[in-house]
Structures are given as C-alpha cells and as structure tokens.
Amino acid sequence: MKDQHPKPASREKLETGFTLIELLVVIAIIAILAGMLLPALAKAKQKAQAIECMNNSRQLALAWLQYAADNNDTCIDNYGANQTNGWVEGVLNWGFTADNIDRTKLTRGKLGPYTAKNVGIYHCPADRSVGFGQTQERVRSMSMNAFVGNPNPPPGTPSKLFPNWTQFIKMNDFRSPTSIFVFLDEHPDSINDGWYIYCNTAPPELSTWSDLPASYHNGAAGFSFADGHSEIHKWRDASTKQPIKKTTYTTGVAVVPSNQTNDIGWVLRASTTPTN
C-alpha cells in the first residue's frame, strides 16, 4: 500500500543540508581553531629563525677561530667606518646605497676565505630590512664586538680603545672565552659598519646605547662567543626592545635606570673586562 502522506520535497532538502545556524557554528569553530593555531605557527617560525640565526653566527665564530689559528693566535682586525682589510667591508643605511645589497663586500673582508664565501651566514633570517627604493633585503645583520680584534687600521700597531679595559688582540687575552661575545645581531636602525660598541663614551658608562642589539627574535638577539658557541639572549627590559623605525640612530638610545644592571649591564660584561 502506497504511503498516503509523502514528505514534501522542500522538507527533504532541509533534512539533508545544513541549516544557517549549523553553518555559522562550523564557521565559528574554524575561526576558533585558526585563532589557536596561528600563534603556534608564528612561534614555530620564530623558533626556526632563531635556530638558523644561531647556526649562522656559530659558523662566523668558527671561521673567526680558524683565522686566529692560522695567524699566530691573532684575532682578526675589526675596523670601523668604511675601512678595507677588516673582517668585513660595507656600510649599511636606509638609503639607496649599493653596500646594502652588495654581497661581494662581505667576502672581500679578511674573514671571507674562512667562510667558504658563504654570504648567507652574515644575515639573520628574521631581519627583513630593505633600504628605501630597493627591493632586496640588506645583506648583513651581524656586527663584531669592538673590543675584539685590532680596532685601528694600519699604519700603526694594535692598540686599545680604552686603557683600563681589555682589548682582545690575541686569543690568550680571553680569560673566559665562553663569556665574551664576538658577533651579534645588531638592530636594523643601528647597524652601519661591522664594528659594534654598546656605549657612547667609555665603560662602564651605562646611560646610553651607542649601538643597539637587535630584538626581532621575540624580544631577543643572537650572539656567538669566543669559544665558538652561539645562543639567543632574551632581553629583560622593554626599553631595549626598540621597534624598527627606519631612521639611523645618531645620538644613541637612552637607557632607563632599571636596565643598567639588566640588558646593557649584561652586554658590558659580555663585551670586555677591566684590566685591573
């Protein structure tokens, strides 16, 4: 016997499809899951960049050690400004300068032959800075501690920056190689030549950053040390974690009093030691 009360076609469609409320619930669940997953993915990306950065700075440190081994334990020269024959050449800025994108100047420095001319290790993957009017990322993120190596270009003999503070000219000048850094990620607004100094005057001045460390590793910067190890150092004070403004620092960055024993104090202790 045939069903005398068949279901209407419209009702069959409603029972086999989504209602508007069900669709909205599904969309809301997807949005919640995306909100939970995206921060995790961002953190995973930051961690991967930090690992690559540590690998790059470690390779630079190992090349630096090999140079010293081949040169009677003498640390590679570390000249400021646009001097040739230092560990690296080229001066970066936010303009349209060729040095921003010229990879050949990286390997023309004395460290070049010891890096197998691998230009990638001079750059941190988290550094996306590009000069005005240019499309390529700037080629270098790393600088060298001003207290490591001879800071005075020839002619002349190696000398100190400051008489009461150690200038590491020879490898045996390091009392604790694990504690003194050689390379670091420098802040994109601060970086210019390959010579990094934390203070405006002489140590132990702690009132102003002359050159500022980077903080694009989730508020941290990469360092490699005189024993060859590398690490990511987390900054504790908000004043150290300056945003990128694409303006070159000319007078440095003021340090809040609470930071003097924290971040800038740590960089002082990792830069040099008193001679007395």
pLDDT digits (tens, 9 = 90+) for 243-276: 999 988 777 888 888 777 889 999 999 999 999 7
33 belongs to a structural domain? yes
Query: DSSP letter string over 163-189?
Result: TTB--B-BGGG-S-TTTSEEEEEBPTT
Residue 39 located in a structural domain: yes
Task: Please count the structural domains in the chain.
Answer: 1
Distance CA 229, CA 225 (A): 6
Q: Within 10 A of 251 (CB to CB), how many other CB atoms are there? A: 8
Structural domain span for residue 34: 19-271
- Tell me: pLDDT of 237 over 80: yes
| Cα-Cα end-to-end distance for the chain | 110
Label residue 220 by pLDDT band (50, 70, 90).
very high
pLDDT digits (tens, 9 = 90+) for 33-67: 767 766 655 555 666 666 788 899 999 999 999 99
Residue 14 included in any domain: no
Whether pLDDT at 96 is above 60: yes
Residue 4 lies in a domain: no
Residue 276 falls inside a structural domain: no
What's the predicted TM-score (pTM) here? 0.83
